[in-house]
Amino acid sequence: MALDTETLTLLLDAVRRFVTERLVPAEDALAHTGEIPSDIVAEMRELGLFGLSISPDYGGLGLNMEEEVRVVMELGQTSPAFRSLAGTNIGIGSQSIVLAGTDEQRSRYLPKLASGELIGSFALTEPDAGSDAMSLRTSAVRDGDHYVLNGTKRFITNAPIAGLFSVMARTAQERKAASISCFLVEAGTPGLTLGKPDKKMGQAGAQTCDVVFDNCRVPASALLGGEEGSGFRTAMRVLDKGRLHISALCVGTAERLIRDAVKYATERKQFGQPIAEFQLVQAMIADSQAELYAARSMVLDAARKRDRGENTTLEAACCKLYATEMVGRVADRAVQIHGGAGYVSEYAVERFYRDVRLFRIYEGTSQIQQLVIARETIKAYS
Ligand code: COS
Q: pLDDT by residue (tens digit) across 330-343?
A: 999 999 999 999 99
Q: pLDDT for 270-289, tens place per residue?
A: 999 999 999 999 999 999 99
Report which ligand 1 atom has the smallest distance to the Cα of 125. Answer: 47
Burial of 378 (0-12, 13-18, 19+ CB in 10 A): exposed
Report which protein residue has its CA nearest ligand 1's atom 23: 177
- Alpha-carbon separation of residue 55 from 51, 207, 360 (angstroms): 8, 27, 30
Mean pLDDT throughout 191-211? 97
Separation CA 250–CA 286 (nearest Å): 17
As for ligand 1, residues whose beta carbon falls within 6 Å of it are: 124-125, 131, 133-134, 176-177, 232-233, 236-237, 239-240, 313, 362-364, 368, 371-372
CA of 154 to the centre of ligand 1 (A): 19
Question: What mean pLDDT comes out for the span 233-237?
Answer: 97
Residues 207-215 have a mean pLDDT of 98
Alpha helices of the chain — where are they, by DSSP H?
5-18, 27-33, 38-47, 65-75, 80-90, 95-100, 103-115, 231-267, 279-307, 313-338, 348-355, 366-381
305 pLDDT above the threshold of 80? yes
The candidate with the shortest Cα–Cα distance to 246, out of 40, 44, 80, is 80
Distance between CA atoms of residues 94 and 122, nearest Å: 8
Which pLDDT does position 2 carry in this prediction?
81
Question: Counting atoms of ligand 1 from 1, which one is nearest the CA of 313?
Answer: 7
Q: How far is the CA of 226 from the centre of ligand 1 (A)?
A: 21
Query: 236 C-alpha to center of ligand 1: Å?
Result: 5
Catalytic positions: 363
Q: How far is the CA of 232 from the centre of ligand 1 (A)?
A: 7
On average, the pLDDT of the chain sits at 97
Say how many Å lie between the CA of residue 74 and the centre of ligand 1: 30
Ligand 1, residue 157: give the atom nearest the CA.
49
Q: Which atom of ligand 1 is nearest to the CA of 92?
A: 49
Q: In testing the pocket of ligand 1, which one of 236, 243, 311, 358 has its CB within 8 Å of the most ligand atoms?
A: 236
**1 has pLDDT over 80:** no
Distance (Å) of CA 150 to CA 38, 136, 171, 178? 34, 12, 11, 19
User: Which residues, other chains included, contact 53 with Cβ-Cβ below 8 Å and sequence gap of 6+?
Assistant: 60, 61, 62, 63, 68, 90, 91, 94, 95, 98, 241
Angle at 338 between CA 335 and CA 342, to 5 degrees: 55
